[in-house]
Amino acid sequence: MGFDIHQFISKKQDLDAFKKANWSGSFQDYVNIVTENPKVCRNAYQRMYDMILSWGVQEGVDTKKKVLHYNFFDDPIDNGKDAVFGLEIPLMKLVNIFHSASKGYGPQNRVILLHGPVGSSKSTIVRMIKKGLELYSRQEAGALYSFTWVNPDKEDIPVFRQLNEIGVDEFPDPMNEEPLKLIPEQLRAGFIDEFARGRKDSRIQINGDLNPASRFFFAELMKHYKGDWNRVMKHIKVRRLVFSEKDRVGIGTFQPKDEKNQDSTELSGDINYRKIALFGSDSDPRAFNFDGEFNIANRGIIEFVEILKLDVAFLYDLLGASQEHKIKPKKFAQTDIDEVIIGHTNEPEYKKLQNNEFMEALRDRTIKVDIPYITKWKSETEIYKKTFNREKVRGVHIAPHTLEMAALWAILTRLEAPKKANLSLLQKVKLYNGKTLPGFTEENVKELRKETLREGMDGISPRYVHDKISNALVNEAEVVGTLNPFMVLNELEGGLKNHSLISNEDKKKQFRELLSVVKQEYEDIVKNEVQRAISADEEAIAKLCSNYIDNVKAHTQKEKVRNSYTGQAEEPDERLMRSIEEKIDIPDIRKDDFRREIMNYIGALALEGKTFDYKTNERLHKALELKLFEDQKDSIKLTTLVSNVVDKATQEKIDIVKTRLIKNFGYDEVSANDVLHYVASIFARGDSKQSRG
């Protein structure tokens, strides 16, 4: 028996949701809905702000400043497909604008302009908002309604008779207006007061007039019924409205074309010449297509892609739409709209706007939100992990730190050189990433951010890095089965030669030098991991720790240590203690202070009934690992890997280290072998410098 598609679809269908999304009823039915839930008649900004909040908010702190993280921008709708990482502060500013606009404090009369370098997530943010509004309009919390003109009793009414001649028996409002706009303007204040009586925080607003098409129907029917509004309402069918970008309902997108092909009717609609003969006039609204982007985006959002590339004629439409919430369709009076107007642009276009005195009116009606590149290492890494993970990259193992090193280089290119002489650019990256460095507090990090002028507005785009990782995967990694950092770093360097956005040779040279910084950091990281893998014998570390503590105790209490082999009392082993302390840079003049700190720590634990464990003291743990590595590396003879002459006993020890790298650090067989050879070559050339941590 074959696959039963009908049964499969039946199980997946939600007929109840379909029924709700396609609800229709009378005007009175709608007023009853508003009575139960006044939020159904929110304006566009209120609905957008509520939609973002509906996904939840988390509070965090960034350099002592409270930061709100809006879960919506993690893209819970598509499991993180369009998630935006590391831009909490710009997104918080954007949502604050929505919040202020939702309360009518002014931003609702402005064009919101997302400004930043190429590839900084501007269009992704808008795409997320449009996607969120679509889903929200399908949910009960985001329900909204519009109406259709109908003739239920098939009466002979002129306004419908002409429609019937072309086989049409109903006329949906072309701009999906709010049904309450059907209440005559002179009666609205009284209706709102009556509605609000006895209610708290549920005062509704009815702003603007009907569009020309619905005004025409309303006026014709009022004439027919001699002003009887109740009878006119028989011809109203209120319907649930669901936003859809693909169906051009509530969500509009406008993308500039070349000047010869630009036409302002794309924004505000155009005359339907075929219908003029039927309706007799080009000023009859039934002969007009109210299908411009401003028209169809009513009640929702309109996105302007590369907004500053618009022809000047379009910008005049934009000014009225933002400030007065009105558009001017050809041959008709100004028409009210209710929509969020958001655009995005890059740096060169924005500079043109600043330098063009004729664009002063637009500048005055614009709220600019800078969307910079990410400056946090961890967040940049998340971008690449979203695409290059086990589910999507099959058959190739991505070696540990490969994506991190690509992200590190991208961040280094975006940061401004620190003004503090004792701070390197790499250290600045680590401070921004949340690492604590000696001598630097959260206040210092805050100062570092404040002293920059354009940090995050220049540098390498995530798209470039993404493309080069893809190249490395296809060109090399698929052949050997593993992708390592050097494959990616080589691609990043090679691509600079023909980078379309970087023509300055000094800048290219600077970016190449930063690749050397990344390679050095990677070297330090893998040396540390190999050291830890070699010294991961917990029994040996515990024994070494016990020996160290016995000597420290004897030293601080001015006692002798009993030699477990000879049974004799001996002076504390100063050489042993210093060999461990030097691994974490404890100077000779500070050794006594450090030893007392250790003994006080052990004593405090004892008072609480707890036993000392070296793992709870990060610095001591690291020192013990490094000491054990130093003691064991010669017995493992790691450097013999370079010559490929390895005896059986050494090979067994190397295999144990390799297994630890795979188990503890995420390597596979190939990448573990590669990293051991790489670290071996470092030792072979005499580089015994300790990891900088």
Query: Which amino acid is present at 62?
Result: D
Threshold 0.75, pTM exceeds: yes
Per-residue model confidence (pLDDT) at position 690: 43
In this structure, the answer to whether residues 204 and 353 fall within a common structural domain is yes
- CB count within 10 Å of CB 208 equals 18
In this structure, the answer to whether residues 172 and 315 fall within a common structural domain is yes
The last residue of one of the domains, among 503, 525, 545, is: 503
Residues 377, 404: contact at Cβ < 8 Å?
A: yes
The last residue of one of the domains, among 574, 602, 622, is: 622
Per-residue model confidence (pLDDT) at position 407: 97
Packing angle between helix 669-684 and helix 505-534, nearest 10 degrees? Answer: 100
- CB count within 10 Å of CB 558 equals 7
List, for residues 609-625, the tens digit of each pLDDT value. Answer: 888 888 777 788 888 88
Packing angle between helix 505-534 and helix 402-414, nearest 10 degrees? Answer: 140
List, for residues 283-329, the tens digit of each pLDDT value. Answer: 889 889 999 999 999 999 999 998 887 777 677 788 889 999 999 99
Helix, strand or coil, per DSSP, at residue 483: strand
Mean pLDDT of the chain: 87
Nearest to 393 by CA among 490, 492, 473, 485: 473
The pair of structure tokens assigned to 521 is: 């950091």
C-alpha 235/C-alpha 151 separation (Å) is 6
Question: How many structural domains does the chain have?
Answer: 4
The pair of structure tokens assigned to 207 is: 């702003």
Per-residue model confidence (pLDDT) at position 506: 87
Does a structural domain hold residue 358? yes
In this structure, the answer to whether residues 135 and 161 fall within a common structural domain is no
402 confidence band (pLDDT: 50, 70, 90): very high
Is 80 exceeded by the pLDDT of residue 60? Answer: no
In this structure, the answer to whether residues 162 and 64 fall within a common structural domain is no
Annotate 121-152 with b (16+ C-beta within 10 A) or e (fewer): bbbbbbbbbbbbbbbbbbeeebbbbbbebbbe
Domain of residue 264, residue span: 148-370
Per-residue model confidence (pLDDT) at position 638: 61
176 Rama sector, left if φ>0, alpha if ψ -120 to 50, beta otherwise: left
Does a structural domain hold residue 548? yes
List, for residues 423-481, the tens digit of each pLDDT value. Answer: 899 999 999 998 888 778 778 888 888 888 889 999 999 999 999 999 999 888 777 88
Partners of 344 in the β-ladder: 114
Nearest to 692 by CA among 511, 424, 405, 401: 424
Does a structural domain hold residue 319? yes
In this structure, the answer to whether residues 254 and 389 fall within a common structural domain is no
The region of weakest confidence among 245-249, 268-272, 385-389, 502-506 is 502-506
List, for residues 509-553, the tens digit of each pLDDT value. Answer: 999 999 999 999 999 999 888 888 877 677 778 888 888 888 989
Distance of CA 381 to the CA centre of its chain: 12
The last residue of one of the domains, among 457, 481, 503, is: 503
List, for residues 132-186, the tens digit of each pLDDT value. Answer: 999 999 999 999 999 999 999 899 998 898 888 777 889 999 999 999 999 999 9
Partners of 341 in the β-ladder: 302
